[in-house]
Amino acid sequence: MHDFKELFLSKLPGPINRFAADTITFAEWLNATFQKLIGLYQTIEAFRDINKANGKALDRIGDQFNQQRGSADDDFYRIMIRSKQATNMGNSTINGLINMIARSLDIQPDKIRIESLRQYENGTLNDGEPLAIRISNIPLEWTRSDFEQNYILERIKNGVAAGVRVDEVSFVDNSNAVLSVRGLTSATITYEVKGEEQ
């Protein structure tokens, strides 16, 4: 914290008695006023940060990216805004998609896996769909409700290159249970839940 009292007193010209009671009282009032201003500016600066803003301040950040809140709370709305930022970058490569998911959820990208359904097995190409991918290891704790899961799935679908189909997305929680969401290009989404093996 800046001490404007001492700064003010040190700048007074010689004829003014810096130790007079009235001078010290004025310097203390000036210091208190400046401390309030510093607090206000720090709050304004914090509300410009997506990780610190909340409520209407966060809504204004979302408006800058044309991302409406809907029924999302502040925590998930931050994810929505970050995902919109990442999608707007327009990088639809594998690394771009991984970075989009990681940036959206504010997680490390090294654990997210993207695999093609058509792969080489023992030197021969299997008969998997050539332009279909499987995405796994997305942390489930960031997608608690159906609204949140569906939002992330739509954002992933919109982030892939044209012509590429997302066949499966797997969310993983801390207890190693897996929630698989299949058939994302169809209207039906089937959840397959696998519990932790004992």
Average pLDDT, integer, range 161-170: 79
For 54-96, how does the pLDDT look when each residue is reduced to its tens digit (9 = 90+)? 888 899 999 988 888 888 888 888 888 888 877 777 666 778 8
pLDDT score for 142: 64
pLDDT score for 90: 67
Beta strands per DSSP E along 11-131: 113-116, 120-121, 124-125
Contact 93, 162 (CB under 8 A): no
Among 6-10, 36-40, 127-131, 194-198, the minimum mean pLDDT is found in 194-198
Q: How far apart are CA 116 and CA 133, in angstroms?
A: 4
How does residue 135 score in pLDDT terms, banded at 50, 70 and 90? confident
Structure tokens at 120: 């080489």
pTM of the predicted protein model: 0.57
pLDDT score for 107: 79
Confidence check: pLDDT of 174 > 60: no
pLDDT score for 176: 54
Beta-carbon-side half-sphere exposure of residue 103 (alpha carbons within 13 Å): 20
Beta-carbon-side half-sphere exposure of residue 5 (alpha carbons within 13 Å): 13
Q: How far apart are CA 180 and CA 104, in angstroms?
A: 19
Q: How far apart are CA 164 and CA 168, in angstroms?
A: 12
- Other Cβ atoms less than 10 A from the Cβ of 29: the count is 11
Confidence check: pLDDT of 178 > 60: no
Average pLDDT, integer, range 161-188: 62
Burial class (CB in 10 A: 0-12, 13-18, 19+), 15: exposed
pLDDT score for 198: 43
User: 144 CB contacts (<8 Å, ≥6 apart)?
Assistant: none
Average pLDDT, integer, range 36-63: 86
